Structure 1
Amino acid sequence: MMNRRTKLSKWCSLALPLALVTGLIAGCGSGNRDASPSNSAVAGANESSSSGAGAESGGEKVELRFSWWGSQGRHDRTLQAIEQFEKLHPNITIKPEYSSWDGYWEKLSTQVAANNAPDVMQMSVLYIKEYAERGILADLKPHAGKELGVADLNADILANQGTVDGKLAGIPMADNASVLLINKGIFQQAGVEVPKLDSTWEEIFESARQLKTKLGGSVYGVFDSAPSLEAFMYYLFAEGDKMYDGNKLGYQDDNLKKWLQMWEDARKEELAPPANLTASFLPLSNADPNKDALLKGSVAIMGPTWIATLPAYENIMKNNVDMISYPRGQKTGSVLQTAMFLSASAKSKHPKEAAMFIDFLVNTEEAADILETERGLPENKKIREYLNPKFTDRDKKMITMLEHVSSIEPAWYDPGPKGAGEVTKLFEQIVQKQQFGQVTIDQAVSEFRVQADKVFEKNN
């Protein structure tokens, strides 16, 4: 783990000597579009400028389905990128399928069960290991250096996160780091200073206490992230503990008790919203600024989320949003993560064209001109250099934050063993019962361990 962290820090500093590291995974939202692109196939074939050897697709009519999650801004840019790819390859039609984060995984799970997975799919570090081990994702190695360029991608990330059981299951698009988001407008209204960049949980709650004194019950200082297994994992890292140990849970139960008690105390003191109000907001994983507590002004501090959600929030909140690292304990709670991968279905009838499309999105200037930094820091170092003149003040803010987290010895995100997705939902369900007073903290701690162990035993 230290080796990969050290390598990423070194990679960032060498590839971008003048702080040219930018954003990461964008927020999640909802959207839709008819199955066929509005300008799907345009006459006059042009060869792709792909770095994967400029592979031609031939004249056969090919249809690929591409699925992704994201905000409306991501949807709009991706649809434009699809149209550009179709202009370059008029024999290939891309059918888009997109949704919010939660809707995405529910739909993908259903499609996989029905042997109807998309040809190309956006894949999270949360699930890539599980999907690859189940044989759902294609091995892209046969296309590497041919239809799919990998020479300008981070070899360490390809080997350690994109490769599962010796198979190249995903091509990384961007890197990211976990943060908390701040509604600066609320702090300005209250005349309270924004928390410092590397705060402890005690300092975060003290800021919330000051807001309550100034604003009364109209706003809560901190979003209650107690039911988020991701948030708890970062808390564990900050305390020098770990989430998993092989194919089972690895943390000390006392740390889960402390985590749940911390939030129970925050609710009692009205520093965090009551359980019924928290439940009315979208879960943190959706990260849709149009529908969550931070934008509505119900809370002043929200997270964990990712650096690359900043553009989606700034588009709406303008200069009223900022970010700080995830609260520290013995060390920082912020982690580094490969923001997302592009993967192909193992059952795709057109694996070559699927690889070509992935190559287009990751390795070409045509796609970069459209996508820019919406999906985050482009993994391809030549594309990063190409986009450098376009970096905005917001991009530079994201660059600075990623460099900061990379410099304070963060952990890497741990996706866990097979079944971790199910365990994540289990954690949310059990902690929500504790939030509503249906079980005690001790009962929640015991129930989660017993039930999680059963899930991992079933899956591994």
Structure 2
Amino acid sequence: MHPATPAPADQPAQLHGSLPAGGMNRRHLLRMLAGTAIAVPAAGLLAACGEEEPAADPNAPVNISFFWWGGEARAKLTEEALKLYMSKHPNVTITPTWQAFTGYYDKLATIAAGGNAPDIFQIDDNGLAEYAGRNVTLDLSKYTSSNKIDVSKHPESLTKYGQLGGKQVAIATGENTPAIIYDKTKLGELGVEAPAVGWTYEQIIAWGQGITTKSGGKYWGLMDPSSDYKALWLWLRAQGKEFYDGPKLAFTEGDLVGWFKLWVDARAKGAIPPADVCHEAVTGSVATQLVVTKKAAVSFMWSNQLSEMQKATKNDLAMTAYPGDPKGQWARASTYWAASRTTKSPDVVADIINFLVNDVEAGKILGVDRGLPNNLDVRKAVSDALTDQKMKDTVAFENEITPKFGPAPAPPPKGHSGLRNTLRDIAETVAYGKQTPEAAAKQFFTEATAALA
């Protein structure tokens, strides 16, 4: 098997801050999380002894650790928003730490296993059930029910997408959806039409084959998305199927064989590059995407990544929906803000989260880097104030495509974060010709059964 590759990054970055480094396999990660003991403070201990607990001083110094993944552009925007919060709350010091997605969850697991998860940390639906299920996350329900985290102007679907077991375990940072990002400049040079919403996979593969032919085989039409869990998920949903049914897979080995064969055939037709070319981009890093490195006309990404990718190339980029019926897509939480159950300042943590998702000034700073703002008033203010054309394009795309979406599924179960890596590794064995689609599908289902157990 080709060496395992990390999960796709939302956006790449260099490591900043002082959180300890750590890398481990999934089994080790789960063992560490399973051993995490989260102590619940004995609130009211003084009162139990006949003494009143003194009221907390609202002006006392508070230190908050804040951890996320992303690119340099995201880091700059996030740090600017946090500085704005601190300017309004001089007693609060927020220590930001950020890095690339690669190794992010390994590092978070290392810290959480020591009972010292960051006060606020970024998470996505791949780790949501994992961390909430192991009591790493703070239950934010009392803050949403009391409007201290105000979700009254958020789409209900986004709020619910952060709920598990009757608890609000995280707050969406924004609304997002998968999108294919294509090189508009290159298509113009080749005299090729742009891909459109509703194209089938067969159509876009034939289109990609034409691009490769027109370029004399020196440039390819498409990135190979066979290892991309979200591409597989949308392909399944467009056929009326799902990825999960509770804690089990909702599709068959035969479905996965069909998915792998689709891309084996696409490679044979020249629509996608050789495995070695594709391998450099499977991490999802913006810097290595084939559209950015000018090796292919299409990369399978997220809508909020258009602006960041545009900054990495001089060619004009644009986007459209993934192939297939748009009903397979849904309005997703791009990422979430979660809080640690061991935080010493839960009220301040809740206030910071509320500020990031509901404050208009903060919204204008953050833009649509993590998707369209949850708060619909903030979303309008941000949209009206945008000067980055690609961010404007992102808003326009979301507004156009959202009415065509199908209903959102439940958040993925525990085990999903590792399972998407499993899909990536196994799909690459097919791409490199080391396994047949049938053997690869069988291996995936064997490993998936164990991972989801």
Flag whether TM exceeds 0.5 (same fold): yes
Aligned to 2:252: 252
Q: Secondary structure at the match of 1:108?
A: helix
Q: Secondary structure at the match of 1:453?
A: helix
Q: Secondary structure at the match of 1:361?
A: helix
> Equivalences for 1:75-154 in 2 at 5 Å?
75-144=75-144, 145=146, 147-154=148-155
| 1:135 CA displacement | 0.7
Flag the 1:166–1:95 CA change in 2: closer, same or farther, 3 A. same
Indicate yes or no: 2:355 matched with 1:360.
yes
Whether the 8 Å CA contact 2:162–2:172 is kept in 1: the answer is yes
Aligned equivalents of 1:85 and 1:197: distance in 2? 40
| 1:318 CA displacement | 5.5
Aligned to 1:376: 371
Flag the 1:429–1:34 CA change in 2: closer, same or farther, 3 A. closer
Indicate yes or no: 2:182 matched with 1:182.
yes
> Equivalences for 1:182-331 in 2 at 5 Å?
182-284=182-284, 286=285, 288=286, 290-303=287-300, 305-317=301-313, 320-328=316-324
Q: Unaligned regions of 5+ residues in structure 1, if any?
A: 1-25, 37-55
Aligned equivalents of 2:396 and 2:406: distance in 1? 15
Aligned equivalents of 2:192 and 2:354: distance in 1? 48
Aligned equivalents of 2:229 and 2:157: distance in 1? 27
Indicate yes or no: 2:337 matched with 1:342.
yes
Aligned to 1:43: none
Aligned equivalents of 2:407 and 2:253: distance in 1? 20
| 1:165 CA displacement | 1.1
| 1:415 CA displacement | 3.8
1:123-168 deviations in whole A, cap 9, x for unaligned?
212222221111111011223336433333333432x212211211
Bigger Cα displacement from structure 2, 368-377 vs 356-365: 368-377
Whether the 8 Å CA contact 1:326–1:332 is kept in 2: the answer is no
Aligned equivalents of 1:238 and 1:98: distance in 2? 36
Indicate yes or no: 2:408 matched with 1:407.
no
Indicate yes or no: 2:429 matched with 1:433.
yes
1:239-263 deviations in whole A, cap 9, x for unaligned?
2221112211110322211111111
Aligned equivalents of 1:385 and 1:409: distance in 2? 21
- How many residue pairs match? The answer is 407
| 1:173 CA displacement | 2.2
Q: Secondary structure at the match of 2:291?
A: helix
Aligned to 2:74: 74
Whether the 8 Å CA contact 1:28–1:101 is kept in 2: the answer is yes
Flag the 1:92–1:35 CA change in 2: closer, same or farther, 3 A. farther
Read off the aligned partner of 2:155 and give its amino acid letter: N
| 1:76 CA displacement | 0.5
Read off the aligned partner of 2:288 and give its amino acid letter: K
Aligned to 1:47: none
Whether the 8 Å CA contact 2:223–2:298 is kept in 1: the answer is yes
Aligned to 2:11: 28
Q: Give the TM-score, by structure 2 length.
A: 0.84
Aligned equivalents of 1:244 and 1:387: distance in 2? 35
Flag the 1:27–1:300 CA change in 2: closer, same or farther, 3 A. same
Read off the aligned partner of 1:28 and give its amino acid letter: Q
Whether the 8 Å CA contact 1:198–1:324 is kept in 2: the answer is no
1:209-248 deviations in whole A, cap 9, x for unaligned?
2112211121111101111222211111112221112211
1:157-212 deviations in whole A, cap 9, x for unaligned?
32x21221121111222111211111112212212222223211111112112112
Indicate yes or no: 2:156 matched with 1:155.
yes
Aligned equivalents of 2:155 and 2:196: distance in 1? 32
Aligned equivalents of 1:430 and 1:389: distance in 2? 44
| 1:117 CA displacement | 0.9
Q: Secondary structure at the match of 1:412?
A: coil
Q: Secondary structure at the match of 2:337?
A: strand
Aligned equivalents of 2:213 and 2:114: distance in 1? 55
Whether the 8 Å CA contact 2:330–2:407 is kept in 1: the answer is yes
Aligned equivalents of 1:264 and 1:57: distance in 2? 64
Read off the aligned partner of 1:194 and give its amino acid letter: A
| 1:413 CA displacement | 5.5
Aligned equivalents of 1:267 and 1:400: distance in 2? 33
1:346-397 deviations in whole A, cap 9, x for unaligned?
1111111111111221122331232233322111123223334313444442
| 1:323 CA displacement | 0.8
Aligned equivalents of 1:422 and 1:401: distance in 2? 31
Flag the 1:386–1:229 CA change in 2: closer, same or farther, 3 A. closer
Aligned equivalents of 2:266 and 2:381: distance in 1? 47
Aligned to 1:167: 167
Flag the 1:101–1:247 CA change in 2: closer, same or farther, 3 A. same
Q: Secondary structure at the match of 2:288?
A: coil
Whether the 8 Å CA contact 1:178–1:336 is kept in 2: the answer is no
Q: Unaligned regions of 5+ residues in structure 2, if any?
A: 1-8, 20-55
Bigger Cα displacement from structure 2, 412-421 vs 220-229: 412-421
Q: Work out the percentage of aligned pairs sharing the same amino acid.
A: 27
Q: Secondary structure at the match of 1:309?
A: helix
Q: Give the TM-score, by structure 1 length.
A: 0.83
Whether the 8 Å CA contact 1:35–1:96 is kept in 2: the answer is no
Flag the 1:202–1:97 CA change in 2: closer, same or farther, 3 A. same
| 1:75 CA displacement | 0.4
Whether the 8 Å CA contact 2:180–2:298 is kept in 1: the answer is yes
Aligned equivalents of 1:271 and 1:62: distance in 2? 55
Give the root-mean-square deviation of aligned CA atoms: 2.2
Read off the aligned partner of 2:356 and give its amino acid letter: L
Flag the 1:454–1:278 CA change in 2: closer, same or farther, 3 A. same
